[in-house]
Amino acid sequence: MTSNYYGDVYKVRPSLPRPNRVLAIGAHFDDVEFGSGATLSKWSKAGTKIEILVMTDGSKGTWDENQDGHALALIRKEEQLASAKVIGNDVAVKWLNWIDGELVHSQRTIAQVAAEIRGFKPDVVVSHDPWKRYRLHPDHRNCGQIAIDAVVAARDPHFYKELGPHHRPNSILLFEPDQINYVEEVDEVDIEVKVSALLSHRSQHQTSMEDRSGSNDLFGMTRAFARRIGQEFGCSLGEPFHLIDDV
For 104, left (φ over 0), alpha (ψ -120 to 50), or beta?
Answer: beta
Please state the pTM of the whole predicted model. 0.92
Give the torsion sign (CA, 14, 46, 78, 118). negative
Please say whether the beta carbons of 201 and 218 come within 8 A.
no
Which amino acid type is present at position 42? K
- Strand order in 237-244's β-sheet? 92-98, 49-56, 21-26, 124-128, 171-175, 237-244, 182-186
Give the contacts of 108 (CB within 8 A, at least 6 positions apart).
none
Q: Going residue by residue through the chain (247 aa), what tens digit of pLDDT does each one get?
A: 455 444 444 578 778 899 999 999 999 999 999 999 999 999 999 999 999 999 999 888 777 788 888 898 899 999 999 999 999 999 999 999 999 999 999 999 999 999 999 999 999 999 999 999 998 899 999 999 999 999 999 999 999 999 999 999 999 999 999 999 999 999 999 999 999 999 999 887 666 655 434 446 888 999 999 999 999 998 999 999 999 998 9
Q: What pLDDT is stored for residue 63 in this prediction?
A: 74
CA-to-CA separations, 162 to 75, 80, 216, in angstroms, rounded: 34, 30, 48
What distance in Å separates the CA atoms of residue 167 and residue 67, rounded to the nearest whole number? Answer: 41
